[in-house]
Amino acid sequence: MNYKPFTDQEVIKYVYDNTNIFENINLLSCEEIGDGNLNLVFRIRDKKNKKSVIVKQALDYLRVAGDNWPLTRQRVKFESECLKIENDLTNGMCPKIYKYDTNMCCIVMEDLVDYEIMRKGLISGKKYNHFANNLSTFLSEVLFKTSDIFMNPVEKKKLMMNFINPELCKITEDLVFTDPYYDSESNNVNPELRDYLENYFWKNNELITNVEIMKEKFMTHSQSLIHGDLHTGSIFINDKDLKIFDAEFAFYGPSSFDIGAVIANLLLNYISWGGKDVSKEFRNDFRNYLKNSIIELWNLFEFKFKKLWDEKANKYYKSKEFRDIYVENLFHDSIGFSSCKMMRRCVGLAHVEDIDEIRDLKKRANVQKLVLKIGEFLIINRNDIESIEKLMSIIEELTSK
């Protein structure tokens, strides 16, 4: 079969013919469950025994922007290879890949039926107490074990060659680091925010200079194999554990980009409660949970990463002083990337539901303005924030005004 986007019937037949997962094609049903940004995502289910799989197929354009934004469909290769590596390094913290097809540009993978998307859970006020422990394991294992500190330098460069992902990186360079900082056609601007953008935000040279510093780091610092889009919509979670998915943006980039992305999305949720109709007690309690999760996430990450370094660094890296400088740089850069990832979600093309579910545009603009002010403060002052506790006390202070 030559590549074409699957219909429901075609994807059922494809899975039946190309895997050994299902026994009777007549019992299979299919629904398309993609979030609409980039790909087709199908759930194929056996009605009788409830067995199911996910098929993710790349389209050759950016779905959210329509067919006038062409995009390589080979991106599923990056996703499937990255998930396999991350699974190996973390003892199964990603969905299992059953099949990857270069011709149909699709991946058949495990359906995580007992999990929910973390963003949805957080929006409904759900707490996950294991989150910081599990995610810090994922981040420290993957970011350390794909870096030059652990890998043989020749092997690392060979692996890097498999993860040159120019088109997906270009999306991030545009949508995270460039377009939100001028009146770009691609932006998705709340009319109630426009005045602030035109008269302040887009004219703020100090802010834009700092964003460009982070953009250049994103484009040049080939530190580790990073997920590249690690927001709370890329995390499946339940009360016991979590799984990371949606790794099509994977490439060799700055480790702090993944750490910053997670923190950004927790902070967006934190700030969003200011625009919602909930009691003060609930808001304070949930923000407290998020604050503690962010503090614990960084502290556990730092502890585990340094432990890996002490036990497993290769012969080329022996200095304890350099270890501490490396981790300190990760911390400050994580704050820098975090602020870029927060600001893009209020001005750029792709927003987050945490904030956009605030229907009243004036209320939403107030929340967005606060995100932009916090983002501006953090990116400008990132190198002077000495600890994660200090970061969270700044956030508490800026959101309590």
Query: Considering CB distances under 5 to 8 angstroms, the limit depending on partner class, which of Mg ion, ligand SR1, none binds residue 333?
Result: none
Q: Give whichever of 109 and 352 is closer to ligand SR1, judged by the CB atom.
A: 352
Instruction: List beta partners, residue 71.
Output: none
How many Å apart are CA 184 and CA 180, to the nearest integer?
7
How many Å is the maximal CA-CA distance in the chain?
63
Residue 171 found at the interface with ligand SR1 (CB under 6 A)? yes
Residue 111 found at the interface with Mg ion (CB under 5 A)? no
CA 158, 163, 166, 170 torsion-angle sign: negative
124 burial (CB, 10 Å; 0-12 / 13-18 / 19+) is exposed
Q: How many CB atoms lie within 10 A of CB 34?
A: 14
Query: Considering CB distances under 5 to 8 angstroms, the limit depending on partner class, which of ligand SR1, Mg ion, none binds residue 111?
Result: none
How far does Cα 68 stand from its chain's mean position?
25
Site residues for ligand SR1, window 205-244 (CB under 6 A)? 229
25 in helix, strand or coil?
Answer: helix
How many Å apart are CA 356 and CA 361, to the nearest integer?
9
Pick the stretch among 84-92, 126-134, 168-176, 358-366 that binds ligand SR1 (CB under 6 A): 168-176
Q: Give whichever of 95 and 149 is closer to ligand SR1, judged by the CB atom.
A: 95
Paired tokens of 400: 């309590």
Of 10, 16, 18, 37, the one binding ligand SR1 (CB under 6 A) is: 37
Pick the stretch among 10-18, 167-175, 379-387, 391-399 that binds ligand SR1 (CB under 6 A): 167-175
Asked whether the beta carbons of 40 and 108 are under 8 A apart, the reply is no
Pick the stretch among 91-99, 155-163, 243-251, 307-315 that binds Mg ion (CB under 5 A): 243-251
Pick the stretch among 49-57, 110-118, 170-178, 371-379 that binds ligand SR1 (CB under 6 A): 170-178
- Alpha helices, DSSP H, located in 8-115: 8-18, 75-90
Q: Give whichever of 146 and 265 is closer to ligand SR1, judged by the CB atom.
A: 265
Q: Give whichever of 75 and 382 is closer to Mg ion, judged by the CB atom.
A: 75
Residue 246 found at the interface with Mg ion (CB under 5 A)? yes
How many Å apart are CA 203 and CA 375, to the nearest integer?
15
**Residues 6 or more apart from 209 whose CB is under 8 A from it?**
none
Residue 350 found at the interface with ligand SR1 (CB under 6 A)? yes
Pick the stretch among 5-13, 25-33, 169-177, 368-376 that binds ligand SR1 (CB under 6 A): 169-177
Minimum distance of ligand SR1 from residue 13's CB (angstroms) = 29
Q: Which residues bind ligand SR1 (CB under 6 A)?
A: 37-38, 62, 64, 171-172, 175, 229, 349-350
